Amino acid sequence: MPSPLLLETERRFAEYPGAESPMRQRKVSSNGVGIAVSEWGDETAPPVLLAHGGFDFAATFSVFAPILARAGMRVVAFDQRGHGDSDHAKLYSWGADLRDTLAVLDSVSHAPIPIIGHSKGGSLLTQFAQAYPHRVSHLINIDGMPSRRRHPDVSNHERSKLLDKELVAWLDHRRRSAELVRKPGELEDLARRRGRMNPRLEHAWLCYLVTRGARRDTDGWRWKIDPSMRMGGFGPWSPNWELQRLPGLTPPLLGILAVIPEQLGWETRERDLRPYLPRGTEIISFEKSGHFVHIEFPQEVARSVLDFLS
């Protein structure tokens, strides 16, 4: 949601070339947790569901989604719990994200529809398609295909990284969590901070995201994301589990891979995936893109998606 409290000097940041505010916004209750839903396009058009990556929010689709909408789709994106305008929950887990996804999908269609996820959202929707194959007509995974290399924006990363420092840091963080607040700053400061994790994205785009994903408090701008959430973490998880389930996937799969490595990327390569891909899977590698392919190349990704769906 655009902040109603933009200063005169900040108004220019609320616009970005090609970016459009959602046409409809609403909340869906997932067992009492309010999940914010944004929609672009005609409400009666064929729907498609979008899931963002970890620490992102639906407004990161503000350029990509309108392209699909103009091509005749009802584009439905949601903020994962704790992210964007969704409620901050007491607890977060992969299973909870799956339930929230289903709650949103139930509010859109009970017939199978295409679903598109980026990064953690791609991984989440892949698992959704395995749990509920009857609800998914096509799966499009944007740089969220399992990789043996890295998985940084999923809270459960490789077990070998379970180190004392990490455990103690996490437990210390939980002890402090009731008092934690996100660090306030000027609008452009937040954009610069995010830029450290998104070095390939334009400052103007990141400023635009601040006007959507942050709010102005009396002491400055703060990202809306739940301060109890943190990058990294640990838990019982292995990328092999995801890889081994991949061959059994039901809906047709389009995998979009970013070739240029970056901090938040997973560095998944087609040759590593190939043995696990269901027959007919399409893989498109974007040689000139980092992890945020739909932000760096929105037109091209949308074209690939539309070709795949037709």
Partner 1 sequence: MSDATVAWLIHYQSRLALHTLRASEAGHPLLLLHGLGERSPSALPAPFEAWPGSVYGLDFTGHGRSDLAPGGGYTAEILMGDADVAVAHLGSVTVCGRGLGAYVALMLAGGRARSVRGAILCDGPGLAGGGPQPSSPRIIHPDPAAVGTPDAFALAELSSDVRPPDYAMSYVRQAMHLGPLERPITVCAKHRPEWLEAVVATTDTEEASLTEALDYYASARPTEESDAFGRHA
Binding segment toward partner 1, per CB under 8 A, in 59-67, 93-101, 190-198, 202-210: 93-101
**Residue 162 contacts partner 1 per CB under 8 A:** yes
**Residue 175 contacts partner 1 per CB under 8 A:** yes
Q: How many CB atoms are located within 10 Å of the residue 190 CB?
A: 24
* Helix (H/G/I), strand (E/B), else coil: 133: helix
d(CA 127, CA 141): 11
Amino acid letter, residue 56: D
**Residue 168 contacts partner 1 per CB under 8 A:** yes
- Looking at 21, 107, 228, 285, which residue binds partner 1 (CB under 8 A)? 228
Per-residue string for binding with partner 1, 122-141, x by CB under 8 A? -----xx-xxx---------
> Which residues make Cβ contacts (< 8 Å) with residue 297, sequence separation at least 6?
286, 288, 289
Q: How many CB atoms are located within 10 Å of the residue 214 CB?
A: 24
d(CA 34, CA 50): 17
Least distance in Å: CB of 42 to partner 1? 29
Least distance in Å: CB of 29 to partner 1? 9
- Locate tokens 């990327």: which residue? 265
- Looking at 11, 70, 159, 183, which residue binds partner 1 (CB under 8 A)? 159
Q: How many CB atoms are located within 10 Å of the residue 284 CB?
A: 17
- H-run or E-run covering 222: strand 220-223
Task: Judge contact between 132 and 242, C-beta under 8 A.
Answer: no
- Looking at 4, 17, 32, 280, which residue binds partner 1 (CB under 8 A)? 32
Least distance in Å: CB of 105 to partner 1? 10
Task: Say if residue 110 is exposed, middle or buried (CB neighbours under 10 Å; 0-12, 13-18, 19+).
Answer: exposed
Nearer to partner 1, 98 or 260 (CB): 98
Nearer to partner 1, 21 or 238 (CB): 238
Least distance in Å: CB of 282 to partner 1? 22
Say which DSSP state 225 is in: S
Binding segment toward partner 1, per CB under 8 A, in 41-49, 58-66, 228-236, 256-264: 228-236
Q: How many CB atoms are located within 10 Å of the residue 47 CB?
A: 19
Per-residue string for binding with partner 1, 234-253, x by CB under 8 A? xxxxx--x---x--------
**Residue 178 contacts partner 1 per CB under 8 A:** yes
**Residue 71 contacts partner 1 per CB under 8 A:** no
Least distance in Å: CB of 81 to partner 1? 7
What residues pair up with 76 in beta bridges, in sequence order? 39, 49
d(CA 302, CA 176): 42
- Residues near partner 1 (CB under 8 A): 30-33, 81, 88-93, 95-96, 98-100, 102, 127-128, 130-132, 159, 162, 164, 167-168, 170-171, 174-175, 177-178, 228, 233-238, 241, 245
